[in-house]
Amino acid sequence: MKGVIEILDREGQVRAAFKLGGAEQGRVRIGRSPDCELVLDDVHLAGEHAEIRATESSAELVLFPSINGGWLGEHRMSAGESAALGGQALFQLGATHLRWRAADAPLPPEVPLADHQKRQAHRSLWWLPVLMAAWACLQVFDFWLGAVPDTKLIAYAWPLLTPVIAALAWAGVWALVTQLFQHRFPFAKHLRRVLIWALAVSSLDYLLPGVAYSFGWPRFAALSDVLMPALFAFLIWWHASLVWPRVRRSIGVGLGVLLMVALGLRVGQRSEEQYLFGARYLSALPPPTLRLVRPKPPEVLLDDLRELRQPLDKMARKDSNAPAGSEEEE
């Protein structure tokens, strides 16, 4: 019987294959000895550990005397024991995983390449200055909003360089992690992802308060307390999917669980406050021309303040009944 003996790695991928011929090559000894037809570099194997005997119609695995023996599927095999292999079988000798595949066994279908395995043409880095310039403009604009009118231009250097250096360092660390696990250094891919993420986060910092102000939805800005942790978890998953593409679904599930735990702790910390997420009031003040709703009369504010009296009195009574020394310093 013709067939192939495949040597597998820890992930079940084929590292090497040994072709077994016809009746003239019906015996293949496996071990560390140079006399074996299939020599394996595994210190947990004997010199001649096992043998595959193939006839015209069948093949069997025979174990020789050894300390560690072997496994055929989930069946433990000891020295001198033999077992039929059939058309296809997984077995382990020492610490080496192998697979027998007969020539007449049906081949598994061809698997399409994953995204990280596809070879792509070299792309120009035109996007790098575009993303960097867009993000730098947002950083300069943010600093300008909080600066005094006579601020010198040199004062903009450090607020501008700090996030850029942080983005380069972040991408470099992830590229080094990828180099460790995949033996490649995709610095540009990691940098592109962190810049896109940073642009999205910076845009949301202006978009959410702006929409809340324009439509009179003060609680709409509180979405940032939920979106920002979720976006940070997405960034980690986005980078990790380049490093460990085979387990990115598991990584996503794990990050999702951690995110839910973090949000739950956040809710627990603010369980006695009026709102579980977000600030107590809208602190952004965009130009009045962006206001799309009519302003409310002062009487509405007074009515809202009256509704706060009961919960404030309740909190005051609770603080007055607290034991001495338990109050936190302001």
pLDDT in tens, 196-205: 999 999 888 8
**Confidence band of 236 (pLDDT split at 50, 70, 90):** very high
Q: Taking residues 94-116, what's their average pLDDT?
A: 85
Q: How much of the chain, in percent, has pLDDT values that exceed 70?
A: 87
User: How far, in whole angstroms, is CA 94 from its chain's centroid?
Assistant: 34
> At 330, is the pLDDT very low, low, confident or very high (cuts 50, 70, 90)?
very low
pLDDT at residue number 148: 79
Nearest to 88 by CA among 111, 76, 75, 72: 72
Residue 170 CA to residue 192 CA, distance in Å, equals: 11
Domain ranges of the chain: 3-102, 124-269
Sheet with 59-63, strands from edge to edge, namely: 38-39, 27-31, 50-54, 59-63, 82-84
Higher pLDDT, 212 or 161: 161
Q: Is the pLDDT of residue 280 over 80?
A: no
Residue of 239 and 139 predicted with greater confidence:
239
Task: Read off the pLDDT of residues 283-314 as tens digits, 9 standing for 90 and up.
Answer: 667 777 777 777 777 777 777 777 777 777 77
From the list 36, 33, 30, 96, the residue with the least C-alpha distance to 63 is 30
Confidence at 329, pLDDT banded by 50, 70, 90: very low
Quote the CA–CA distance of 175 and 182 in Å, as a whole number: 10
Q: Is the pLDDT higher at 211 or at 282?
A: 211
Beta-carbon contacts of residue 121 (< 8 Å; ≥ 6 apart): none
Instruction: Provide the whole-model pTM.
Output: 0.65
Contacts of 27 (CB under 8 A, 6+ apart): 37, 51, 52, 53, 54
CA distance to 120, 179, 188, per residue, from 173 (Å): 23, 10, 12
AA identity, residue 256:
G
The most confident of 30-39, 127-136, 150-159, 287-296, by mean pLDDT: 30-39
Mean residue pLDDT across the chain:
83
pLDDT of amino acid 183: 85
Distance CA 293, CA 217 (A): 10
For position 23, what pLDDT does the model report? 45
Contacts with 2 (C-beta within 8 Å, 6 or more apart), sequence order: 19, 20, 21, 22, 54, 102, 103
pLDDT at 146 over 50: yes
Question: Is residue 89 scored above 80 in pLDDT?
Answer: yes
Q: How far is CA 217 from the centre of its chain?
A: 34
CA angle 10, 189, 251 (to 5 degrees): 45
Q: How confident is the model at residue 279 (pLDDT cuts 50, 70, 90)?
A: low
Contact partners, residue 37, CB within 8 Å, separation at least 6: 18, 25, 27, 28, 29, 30
Residue 103 has pLDDT above 60, yes or no: yes
Tens of pLDDT, residue by residue over 37-84, are 999 999 999 999 999 988 888 889 999 999 999 999 999 998 889 999
Question: By three-state DSSP, how is residue 326 classified?
Answer: coil
Contact 56, 105 (CB under 8 A): no
Between CA 56 and CA 111 the distance in angstroms is: 31
317 SS3 class:
helix
Kind and range of the H or E run holding 313: helix 309-320
Domain range 3-102, CATH architecture: Sandwich (2.60)
Q: Tell whether the model's pLDDT for residue 327 goes beyond 50.
A: no
